[in-house]
Amino acid sequence: MENKNISVVLPGSKSISNRLLLIKEIAHLNFKIENLSDSDDTSVLQESLLSLQKGNTTIDIGMAGTCMRFLCAYLSTLAGKEFILTGNERMKKRPIKDLVDGLNSMGADISYLEEEGFPPIKITGKKFEVNELSMNSTTSSQFVSAILLIAPGFSNGLKLTLEGETVSKSYILLTLELMKKLGINYKWNGNQIQVMPGLYNFTDSSFYNESDWSGAGYFYSAIALNKKTVVLSGLLNSSIQPDSIVANIYAKLGVKTEFLDKQIKLTGGKKIENKFSYNFINCPDLAQTVAVTCLALGIDADLSGLQTLKIKETNRIEALKIELEKLGANVIAGHDFLKMKAPKEINLTASVTINTYNDHRMAMSFAPLLLIGNNITIENKDVVSKSFPEFWNQFNKLLM
């Protein structure tokens, strides 16, 4: 009997949504964003911008990391106004020093209210006069993106020099390409990015925001395990999202991708690799998903380029090691890598609870294991709302 295609509705890209929302605010544009992300992070940014429009000066972004970085840069340009930007306890442990140092060196006035180098912060808006900056780019690409998004408003634009091994370069390129679609020119040569001065401009009434490739990854993982056929909505072959590389990655793990009109069709087949190696420096959000897939398929994995995972919602390298070992893997983890010796078969005779550490990607990455065993429980399942509120409703279609 031929498998019936399962249709899965993905959320809009969170990365694109949040960048577009900030650009709209900076430039006072009023186009509609089609397929806007319904994630907690995007909702928090929308609420924060609305709160600012109402004159509020203290903004609590909870655990929304993108909001902390993007608002830090934007608020620093609002000359003559003072703001306090804070978050939850985990956010107060996520470093922001490289971004603050960069902004302050250009004339911003940002100070720490508690621990040096971490939120909460006090921001006094200034008019920036400096148009050259060298900044550390080894911690988070969002620090770079935050500054790039405000750079067109500088009288002479910005010459930005990236110092050190730049992480998640593809997300910086995502930012620049979005800026280009909205009227801003740039050049990127080697470790120097030049953003030309200008006004954001978009004359269409709406901007189509494609669906989230990071969210697609969990269904790639599921298809690698259960060999069904799934159609995922809203994805483009010409995507500017870094995580669209997931199609190439999972081709090595037996999943075929067929591009259709604003959707893709995934078909499971035979795994190709007995050992999987990959550098995730440009797509770190896929690492957890791939690690769990390899575990379930009995494939040894050598994952590198993971340094940014330590400062996410949790230390994802450490969390992955703990949870993979519960299922029989032998894991060695370091500053920027994880090496896993997979068991020949996962022993699911005893009940196993997967802890999520209040991290949406831990919950969704381990979800495909529910397809191969009834003795797995994922705690705090609702944490997925941070990026994919409808995840379980969509994932449960695979269990039917």
**Arithmetic mean of pLDDT, 94-122:** 96
* pLDDT value of position 56: 96
Residue labelled with tokens 């972004």? 61
Q: Where are the domains of the chain?
A: 14-207, 211-399
* pLDDT value of position 375: 87
Provide the pLDDT confidence category of residue 5 given band limits of 50, 70 and 90. confident
CATH of span 14-207: 3.65.10.10
Using DSSP's 3-state secondary structure scheme, residue 171 falls into: helix
* pLDDT value of position 1: 35
Residue 89 contacts by C-beta under 8 Å, 6 or more apart in sequence?
A: none
* pLDDT value of position 272: 73
User: What pLDDT digit, counting tens, does each position of 152-182 carry?
Assistant: 999 999 999 999 988 899 999 999 999 999 9
Q: Is the pLDDT of residue 14 over 70?
A: yes
Enter the pTM of the model.
0.91
**Arithmetic mean of pLDDT, 205-225:** 96
- The CATH label, of 3.90.550.10, 3.90.950.20, 3.65.10.10, 3.40.50.1370, for the domain at 211-399 is 3.65.10.10
Max CA separation in the chain (angstroms): 69
Q: Is the pLDDT of residue 321 over 60?
A: yes
* pLDDT value of position 130: 86
Which candidate, 100, 170, 110, places its Cα nearest to that of 136? Answer: 100
Q: Is the pLDDT of residue 4 over 80?
A: no
Q: Is the pLDDT of residue 273 over 80?
A: no
CA dihedral (80, 81, 82, 84) positive or negative: negative
Other C-beta atoms closer than 10 Å to the C-beta of 227 total: 14
* pLDDT value of position 274: 82
**Arithmetic mean of pLDDT, 274-278:** 92
- 14-207 and 211-399: same fold? yes
Provide the pLDDT confidence category of residue 345 given band limits of 50, 70 and 90. confident
Radius of gyration of the chain (CA): 21
Residue labelled with tokens 């969002």? 142
Provide the pLDDT confidence category of residue 2 given band limits of 50, 70 and 90. very low
* pLDDT value of position 3: 52
Of the listed ranges 156-165, 269-278, 337-346, the least confidently predicted one is 269-278
Q: Measuring CA to CA, how many Å separate 183 from each of 3, 73, 141, 196, 354?
A: 46, 20, 22, 10, 46
User: What pLDDT digit, counting tens, does each position of 109-156 carry?
Assistant: 999 999 999 999 999 999 988 899 999 999 889 999 999 999 999 999
User: Which one of the listed residues 285, 300, 359, 382 is annotated catalytic?
Assistant: 285
- Percentage of the chain lying above the pLDDT 90 cut: 86
- Percentage of the chain lying above the pLDDT 70 cut: 98
**Arithmetic mean of pLDDT, 4-23:** 94
Of the two residues 274 and 329, the one the predictor is more confident about is 329
* pLDDT value of position 344: 86
Let me know if 302 is a catalytic residue. no
